[in-house]
Amino acid sequence: DTEVTQTPKHLVMGMTNKKSLKCEQHMGHRAMYWYKQKAKKPPELMFVYSYEKLSINESVPSRFSPECPNSSLLNLHLHALQPEDSALYLCASSIRTANNEQFFGPGTRLTVL
C-alpha cells in the first residue's frame, strides 16, 4: 500500500459545527503533516507529527486541533471555523521528517458557510 488516503473528500460545515478530517497511511512512515491550500496558492504547512508527537505547529489558530492516535492515523479536529478557513486540506507523510520526501493524499475540500 503506497498511498495516503483522506476522508471525507468534500465537507461543508457551518461556523458552529464540529467536524474532523481523517488521514491514513500504511507505508510505515513516522512523519505526518497537515497543509492548507487556498486556490491558486502553494500549500501552507500547518502541523508536523514525528513519531506520533507534535513537532511543528505553524502558529495555527486553536480552532484547528490535530491528533495522531497512532503511527498510521492523523486527524484534524475542526471547531468554530470561519468562512476564510475554506480551503483544500492536504495530508502528507514521509519516512521521517529528515527524509522529507513527502507523499500527499488527495485532500479534503472544506467549505465553511
Q: Considering the rule CB under 8 A, would residue 23 count as an interface residue with other proteins? A: no
Span interacting with other proteins, options 11-19, 21-29, 64-72, 84-92, rule CB under 8 A: 84-92
Spatial separation of the C-alpha atoms in residues 35 and 25, rounded to whole Å:
16
Size of the site for other proteins (CB under 8 A): 26
Q: Considering the rule CB under 8 A, would residue 100 count as an interface residue with other proteins? A: yes
Percent of residues in the chain assigned helix, strand, coil, to nearest 5: 5, 55, 40
CB of 103 to other proteins, least distance (A): 6
Spatial separation of the C-alpha atoms in residues 93 and 25, rounded to whole Å:
7
Q: Which residues bind other proteins (CB under 8 A)?
A: 31, 33, 40-43, 45, 48, 50, 55-56, 88, 90, 92, 94, 97-98, 100-107, 109
